[in-house]
Amino acid sequence: ETGVTQTPRHLVMGMTNKKSLKCEQHLGHNAMYWYKQSAKKPLELMFVYSLEERVENNSVPSRFSPECPNSSHLFLHLHTLQPEDSALYLCASSQDLRDTQYFGPGTRLTVL
């Protein structure tokens, strides 16, 4: 599915770096999501935005900072990460909060 794109696909960063993950959806959806998937584990919801407003914050450490400038774009700003933050970060979108969620290909993040 190419309706939701994510960049970069792979990222290696040191603990002192600052980087950003980008998600873009071309489906005209109103809701966007960030999920974290650690190795061999199910997805964990991090953030939910609906109409550019954050509606869910799942007790995520402040070293992860989301930004939703418009309904088509979602960013995840990263700073001072830890090695245990290494994971696959998936973005999703849906028409509204109760509708089917469609996922991007993910960014595989490695923190050294």
Partner 1 sequence: GIQVEQSPPDLILQEGANSTLRCNFSDSVNNLQWFHQNPWGQLINLFYIPSGTKQNGRLSATTVATERYSLLYISSSQTTDSGVYFCAVPYNQGGKLIFGQGTELSVKP
**Which residue ranges make up the site for partner 1 (CB under 8 A)?**
1, 31, 33, 37, 41-43, 45, 48, 50, 55-56, 58, 88, 90, 92, 94, 97-98, 100-103, 105-106, 108
Minimum Å gap between C-beta 106 and partner 1 is: 5
- φ/ψ of 36, rounded to 5, equals -115, 135
Calpha distance 71→53 (Å, rounded): 9
Buried b / exposed e over 47-73, threshold 16 CB at 10 Å, is: bbbbebeeeeeeebeeebebebeebbe
Nearest distance in Å: CB 3, partner 1: 10
Q: Which CB sits closer to partner 1, 33 or 111?
A: 33
Task: State the nearest-atom distance from the C-beta of 19 to partner 1, in Å.
Answer: 19
